[in-house]
């Protein structure tokens, strides 16, 4: 066992899968000589060569288009974007080609599109986005948002082995802050399965990515007051693990959803609808949300702090809900 960062877990997953399957290739901006904007692919060029670690121009649409073609040709491309905000440049390629290809003419697209998302590092409005819900709304895609080093590695391995296009959002705030002992042996984490990170009885807090850690900190604070919150890590947003969500709500009878994405159209609204439709009689209080504000991500640190969910905000909302 070795303590491994979230970032190193991603590098290990790519290296091991490239070693396991010669069809796996890495393509993207500065993934080769430079080793990736955050050094996620450092050393892979030296290990696997130019034919499998391919630097591209800064053109997200071209990267995704080329990767889709590679998938059609029998390869299993991993396409990296330096900052996931610019995935918008490839929106048409992703939603109208990759997502619909299997439905339209039976052609699988074994593509993993990965890159850093999220705020908390003062990256400003063009380098801090959480664009996952644009793609959760697109049938044919899978959307993965790991919160731990173990899951980052195991879910990325599952994504690479999947015959469907998978969007893999890596929260940059976690890259070097989260460390974990990982197994030496090969393992995967199933796509579409949530995890209960902390059992509780008084309310359920559902979250994912960096906000899982905020939620766990909040749960620890609430426990000092005698409020035991159950914390559920979604891990995958599409497909959504409805069974785990509903089981937790039926156990605790109250629900708080926490996410870093902006409020309107966020996954909290979908989860609220899901629970209302399937477990309304089990609720003992209104479903609550703690999210970012409906604005671009501010650059100034005090404004970004005000914009993002925090432990204090989660504790306050959870306390009110627990006492409802």
Give 107's contacts (C-beta < 8 A, 6+ positions apart): 72, 101
Class in CATH terms, 195-322: alpha beta
User: Is 121 within 8 Å of 177 (Cβ atoms)?
Assistant: no
Catalytic site residue from 127, 171, 213, 259: 127
- pLDDT of residue 60 exceeding 90: yes
18, 147, 118: which is closest to 76 by C-alpha?
18
Say how many Å lie between the first and final Cα of the chain, rounded: 45
Q: Domain map of the chain by residue range?
A: 2-182, 195-322
pLDDT in tens, 227-272: 999 999 999 999 999 999 999 999 999 999 999 999 999 999 999 9
Q: In angstroms, rounded to a whole number, what is the distance separating the alpha carbons of residues 120 and 182?
A: 26
Query: Is CATH 3.10.20.30 correct for 2-182?
Result: no
Evaluate whether 2-182 and 195-322 have a shared fold.
yes
pTM over 0.95: yes
**β-strands 203-207, 255-262 pairing:** parallel
pLDDT in tens, 294-304: 999 999 999 99
E-strand ranges in 208-248 read 229-233, 236-238
Q: In the annotation, is 127 catalytic? A: yes
């Amino acid at each position: 066992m070795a303590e491994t960062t979230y970032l190193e877990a991603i590098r290990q997953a790519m290296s091991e899968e490239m070693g396991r399957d010669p069809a796996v290739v890495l393509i993207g901006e500065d993934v080769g000589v430079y080793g990736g904007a955050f050094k996620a692919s450092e050393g892979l060029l030296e290990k696997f060569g130019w034919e499998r670690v391919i630097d591209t121009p800064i053109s997200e649409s071209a990267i995704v288009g080329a990767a889709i073609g590679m998938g059609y040709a029998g390869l299993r491309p991993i396409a990296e974007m330096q900052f996931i905000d610019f995935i918008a440049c490839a929106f048409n390629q992703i939603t109208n080609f990759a997502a619909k290809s299997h439905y339209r003419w039976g052609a699988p697209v074994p593509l993993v599109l990965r890159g850093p998302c999220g705020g908390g590092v003062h990256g400003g409005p063009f380098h801090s986005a959480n664009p996952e819900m644009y793609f959760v709304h697109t049938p044919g895609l899978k959307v993965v948002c790991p919160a731990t080093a173990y899951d980052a590695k195991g879910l990325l391995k599952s994504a690479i082995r999947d015959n469907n296009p998978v969007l893999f959002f890596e929260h940059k705030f976690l890259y070097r802050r989260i460390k974990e002992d990982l197994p030496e042996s090969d393992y995967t984490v199933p796509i579409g399965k949530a995890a209960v990170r902390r059992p509780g009885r008084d309310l359920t807090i559902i979250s994912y990515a960096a906000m899982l850690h905020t939620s766990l900190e909040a749960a620890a604070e609430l426990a000092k007051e005698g409020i035991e919150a159950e914390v559920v890590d979604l891990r995958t947003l599409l497909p959504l693990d409805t069974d785990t969500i509903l089981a937790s709500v039926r156990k605790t009878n109250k629900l708080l959803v926490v996410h870093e994405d902006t409020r309107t159209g966020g996954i909290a609204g979908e989860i609220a609808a899901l629970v209302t439709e399937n477990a309304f009689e089990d609720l003992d209080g209104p479903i609550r949300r703690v999210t970012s504000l409906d604005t671009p991500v501010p650059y100034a640190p005090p404004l970004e702090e005000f914009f993002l969910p925090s432990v204090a905000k989660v504790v306050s909302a959870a306390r009110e809900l627990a006492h409802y």
